[in-house]
Chain A
Amino acid sequence: MSYIGSKPADAVLETDDITDGVITTSKLADNSVTTAKTSYFDAPFRNIIINGDYSIFQRGDTVTGVTDQVYSAPDRWKTQIFSTAVFTISKSTDVPSGQGFASSCKWDCTTANASPSATTFMIHEQRIEGQNIQYLEYGTSSAKSLTASFWVKSNKTGAYTVGLYSVDGSRHIESSYTISTANTWEKKIITFAGDTAGTINNDNGEGLRLWFHLGAGSNWSSGTHATTWSDYAQADVLVDNQVNLADSTSNEWLVTGVQLEAGTTASDFEFLPYDVNLRRCYRYYWGWWDKADAGVNATAGGLAVMYTSAILYVSGFFPVTMRATPSLDQASGTNYYTFYRNGAADNFDDFTLQGSGRTNKNGYEMNNSTDISGTAGQAGFIRCNNVNAYIFFDAEL
């Protein structure tokens, strides 16, 4: 150890040349250790995926009868089902032991489709906003690799496809993973090269998509599995012998700890505080109450005023700036909502969003002009009045 403290000659240092405690913090010059010497991109929010630990389910912890291309249960995760198969998507407490996760997302097949037609597909995916990932430098010689890591479990062993799709340049790269042991959590790590010929627009649109394929018809597998970045071709998506998760109602697929980060190494999952995770989801979906809190004469909504004797107006602000001007996403039904004013109540069925700049990324304006009557100028408040009622604002990708 005699050369510690003086300039060493070129020599190979072995692990036991430097014992514990010899190099203390004070012996390192300020800023001498850079990210170039760390094994992963160690910036905060290095995980490009939002809600990768499946802690946020504003739409409800369990959604049954999922058959469409919708945001079903977990925030930020889109379900794409084009099949006669039907699934229940839910928040599960079945998690890999000792990893710190409290929940996972579970796909449970409730109606099978063992013989999928050519056009069939089933996808669990997250669409990533383009302006969040400009540092990946796609379309340049410096395009950064991305490493995906996740925990997965299924009764269906075999090969599954996971990949990246870039909508701006219509490009994709696919990979695969194998579930080796039935009903056992397994961690998968996959590195994708950067796309030097790709395009990710610097805007609030979709820049990149991480997609997990759970089965598809021959239109998705008739070509050659695209393991390098190439122009998008549906026929080149699936790995050979891709599992069909819909071939039995006994099938289920669970996933958690999804992380997508720059670099070629998977770091430990980046846990965020619940409130931080929730507010990140609010940029894409936010509501007056969680669906689980709905009820008769129940949860508070917004303040409202009779603009005329027949038009009720409500306006308010979102807790965070939304990605785009959102849609009003609501349940409509007889007397689903109640307006309380002047010591009385008046029920109504739904709202109409006032667009054209009145509703924008920061706030909303909506009305009802079909079910309400009263005295112009009277103010009051809105309550939920049905267990199935909900009011959300949707700016998902």
Chain B
Amino acid sequence: MIDTVTKNYGIDNEFVSYQVTYVNSNRVKSVPLDEANTDYQAIQEWIAEGGVVIDNGGGE
């Protein structure tokens, strides 16, 4: 079960992937922005159900 979703930014400060943590787990997934990726699909469902993505901005 998804706990948090945070936007990842690349060296050019562009949004490149999501960082996902899970409840009661040390598992972390970095999820690409690919509609064929089922983790990406799960994030979109999570957002549709009210999940809020953490956006700390770029700045590397």
Contact = CB atoms under 8 A, between A and B. Distances in A.
A394 B30 contact: no
A356 B33 contact: yes
B38 A330 contact: no
Given A311-B60, A353-B8, A327 B16 contact: no
Interface string B26-58: 111111111011111000000000000000000
Contacts of A248: none
B4 interface: no
Interface residues of A, number: 32
B27 A394 contact: no
B39 A327 contact: yes
B47 to A, nearest CB: 16
Contacts of B37: 324-327, 395
A332 B28 contact: yes
B36 A355 contact: no
A209 to B, nearest CB: 13
A325 B11 contact: no
B36 A205 contact: yes
Majority secondary structure, A binding face: loop
Instruction: Point out which of B15, B21, B28 has the most chain A C-beta atoms below 10 A from its C-beta.
Output: B28
Interface residue range, chain B: 20 to 34
A352 B17 contact: yes
Given A358-B16, A396-B38, A388 B26 contact: yes
Contact of B30 (A311, A352, A356, A395): A352
A246 B50 CA distance: 31
A329 B39 CA distance: 10
A307 B11 contact: yes
Nearest to A127: B38
A355 B11 contact: no
Given A307-B11, A311-B60, A331-B26, A355 B32 contact: yes
A366 interface: yes
The 4 closest A-B pairs by CB, nearest first: A353-B30, A355-B32, A324-B36, A328-B30
Interface of B: 1, 8, 10-11, 14-17, 19, 21, 26-34, 36-40, 60
Given A352-B17, A356-B33, 7 more contacts: A311-B60, A328-B29, A330-B30, A351-B30, A356-B16, A396-B38, A397-B38
9 contacts: A330-B27, A330-B28, A352-B8, A352-B17, A353-B8, A353-B17, A353-B30, A356-B14, A358-B16
